[in-house]
Amino acid sequence: MAENGLSTPVSKRAEETCANILAAVLVSFLIALSVVGLASCDPVTTGHAYAVEAVR
| pLDDT tens sequence for the chain (56 residues) | 456 556 778 888 889 999 999 999 999 999 999 988 887 777 666 666 666 666 55
pTM score above 0.75: no
Half-sphere exposure for 40 (CA within 13 Å, toward CB): 10
pLDDT computed for residue 37 by the predictor: 82
Indicate the residue type of 5. Answer: G
Please give the angle made by the CA atoms of 53, 55 and 56, to the nearest 5 degrees.
Answer: 65
Domain ranges of the chain: 10-55
